[in-house]
């Protein structure tokens, strides 16, 4: 009875905190701003590849153009974090949203591929600042004790647009034209900035304000460009290589954890290939269905939402097998696209692919959480994300060349194989369960690796 009473009290308390957040205008403005910003971004995810391929066809340049949005975060993500920490994140988020909206509105006016590539890079810079700045505003609008409920709202606001955006993009592109997708994102960017306008400014005590780092003394004879630029590139390359070594150090002694990490990278390559393939597939196979790409992405998003709910039912299974089957069966769905000429079947296949992708993703995050000590989790993801973006860019660039040279059929096959083959090769490392004895957990954490 005591447990029932405690659980009921906790449930009512959580519900009260959630309801309290919904009554706070500042929290609603922040959540609404993020939702609208992500909604517009999802529309550009549909519009940009369609615009490029309709005007310029397929080829390596298309891959570079689609990958350009990710390059700023890979190269300059750390700089964006420093700027957000140094200045008022509300203003950073507002200016980034407005700048991105202005840039997006220029896409329909471009007349050359290099102009589109330049604008894609500029959008990447805007997103590089806007998302971390929005996240930095959380402590200002989420009261202490409501962190779980507040972050739940924020995650929902970030994920749901990935389902709604592509679904809306289809009718907009079909009825008004692809150019209007970029106008829609420009409008959402202005609306997102307007929602942030009335948030109170951050007040940072002088003691907490980050001090400006001392500028390094220039090397003798080094100019402002040339050697200094080379030193910056070398420093970035060393940081990336150092992050890779640190990641290996964290995961090398746990077979399942290291295999999960490896297959996370190979999956990002497959995802990059798949993005380019889907754009070409929608144009070539379903020319009579305007903006089919939006419907395909929405089908995957809906499947992903359903798959996350189904994963709990597989709790009693060996989670290594669940992860393997999720990736392998998703790959089968992509390969099966080769043999369907029906848009209904294509949507169904991508819905099922989304289900399997979501199941595998949930298992991935759950297994990493179980196997990494808490104090290494932040370092793990801080190292994983930039490296994952490198693989994503590589897959996206390769996809532009692959689809143009190999064609739709071979491209679908390679996307599916890139998802399925790595997990099948690592079956012997993913399946065995390995748990840390309680007595040996402390030394393993101290050493920085799992034993």
CB 356 within 8 A of CB 223: no
Residue 353 pLDDT: 93
Question: Which of the four pLDDT bands, split at 50, 70 and 90, describes residue 311?
Answer: confident
User: Mean pLDDT across the chain, nearest whole number?
Assistant: 73
Question: Which of the four pLDDT bands, split at 50, 70 and 90, describes residue 418?
Answer: very high
> Which one of 1.20.1250.20, 3.40.50.880, 1.10.10.10, 3.40.50.11810 gives the CATH number of domain 234-431?
1.20.1250.20
Q: What predicted TM-score, i.e. pTM, was given to this entire model?
A: 0.60
Instruction: Establish how many alpha carbons lie within 13 A of residue 234's alpha carbon, considering only the half-sphere containing its beta carbon.
Output: 6
**Lookup: tokens for 394:** 């590589």
Residue 377 pLDDT: 59
For residues 292-307, give the mean pLDDT: 81
Alpha helical stretches, state H, 146-226: 147-159, 161-176, 179-197
**Lookup: tokens for 392:** 């994503």
The answer for residues whose C-beta is within 8 angstroms of residue 236's C-beta and 6 or more apart is 75
CB 116 within 8 A of CB 62: no
For residues 408-412, give the mean pLDDT: 84
Where do the domains of the chain lie? 18-201, 234-431
Classify domain 18-201 at the CATH topology level: Growth Hormone; Chain: A; (1.20.1250)
**Lookup: tokens for 215:** 């500028």
CB 29 within 8 A of CB 196: yes
316 vs 102 pLDDT, higher one: 102
Residue 388 pLDDT: 79
Instruction: Establish how many alpha carbons lie within 13 A of residue 442's alpha carbon, considering only the half-sphere containing its beta carbon.
Output: 1
Task: Quickly tell me which residue has 């009693």 as its tokens.
Answer: 316
For residues 24-38, give the mean pLDDT: 79
CB 126 within 8 A of CB 97: yes
Shared fold status for 18-201 and 234-431: yes
Residue 351 pLDDT: 92
Per-residue pLDDT of 58-69, as tens digits, reads: 666 666 777 777
Per-residue pLDDT of 324-369, as tens digits, reads: 999 999 999 999 998 877 888 989 999 999 889 888 887 887 787 7
Please state, as a whole number, how many other Cβ atoms lie within 10 Å of the Cβ of residue 420: 21
CB 170 within 8 A of CB 294: yes
Per-residue pLDDT of 209-245, as tens digits, reads: 444 444 444 444 444 445 655 666 666 666 656 656 7
């Amino acid at each position: 009875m005591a447990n029932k009473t405690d659980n009921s009290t906790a449930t009512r308390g959580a519900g009260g905190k959630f309801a309290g957040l919904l009554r706070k205008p500042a929290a609603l403005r922040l959540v609404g701003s993020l939702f609208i910003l992500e909604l517009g971004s999802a529309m550009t995810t549909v519009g940009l590849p369609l615009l490029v391929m309709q005007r310029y066809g397929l080829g390596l340049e298309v891959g570079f153009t689609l990958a350009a949005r990710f390059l700023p975060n890979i190269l300059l993500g750390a700089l964006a974090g420093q700027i957000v920490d140094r200045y008022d994140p509300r203003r950073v988020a507002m200016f980034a949203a407005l700048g991105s909206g202005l840039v997006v509105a220029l896409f329909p006016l471009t007349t050359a591929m290099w102009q589109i590539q330049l604008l894609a890079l500029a959008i990447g810079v805007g997103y590089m600042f806007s998302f971390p700045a929005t996240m930095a505003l959380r402590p200002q609008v989420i009261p202490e004790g409501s962190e779980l409920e507040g972050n739940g709202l924020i995650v929902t606001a970030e994920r749901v647009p990935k389902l709604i955006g592509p679904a809306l993009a289809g009718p907009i592109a079909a009825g008004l034209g692809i150019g209007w997708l970029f106008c829609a994102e420009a409008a959402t960017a202005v609306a997102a900035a307007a929602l942030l306008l009335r948030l109170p400014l951050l007040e940072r005590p002088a003691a907490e304000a980050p001090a400006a780092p001392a500028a390094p003394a220039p090397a003798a004879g080094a100019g402002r460009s040339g050697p200094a630029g080379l030193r910056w590139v070398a420093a970035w390359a060393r940081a990336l290589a150092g992050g890779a070594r640190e990641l290996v150090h964290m995961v090398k002694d746990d077979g399942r954890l290291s295999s999960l990490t490896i297959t996370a990278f190979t999956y990002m390559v497959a995802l990059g290939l798949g993005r380019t393939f889907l754009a070409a597939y929608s144009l070539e196979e379903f020319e009579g269905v305007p903006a089919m790409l939006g419907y395909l992405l929405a089908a995957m998003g809906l499947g992903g939402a359903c798959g996350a709910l189904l994963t709990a039912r597989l709790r009693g299974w060996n989670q290594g097998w669940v992860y393997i089957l999720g990736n392998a069966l998703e790959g089968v769905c992509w390969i099966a696209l080769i043999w369907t000429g029906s848009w209904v079947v294509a949507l169904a296949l991508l819905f099922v692919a989304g289900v399997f992708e979501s199941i595998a993703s949930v298992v991935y995050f759950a297994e990493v959480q179980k196997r990494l000590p808490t104090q290494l989790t932040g370092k793990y993801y801080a190292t994983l994300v930039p490296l994952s973006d490198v693989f994503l860019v590589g897959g996206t660039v390769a996809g532009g060349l692959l689809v143009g040279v190999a064609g739709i059929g071979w491209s679908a096959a390679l996307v599916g194989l890139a998802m399925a083959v790595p997990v099948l090769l690592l079956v012997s490392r993913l399946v065995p369960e390995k748990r840390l004895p309680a007595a040996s957990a402390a030394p393993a954490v101290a050493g920085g690796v799992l034993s």
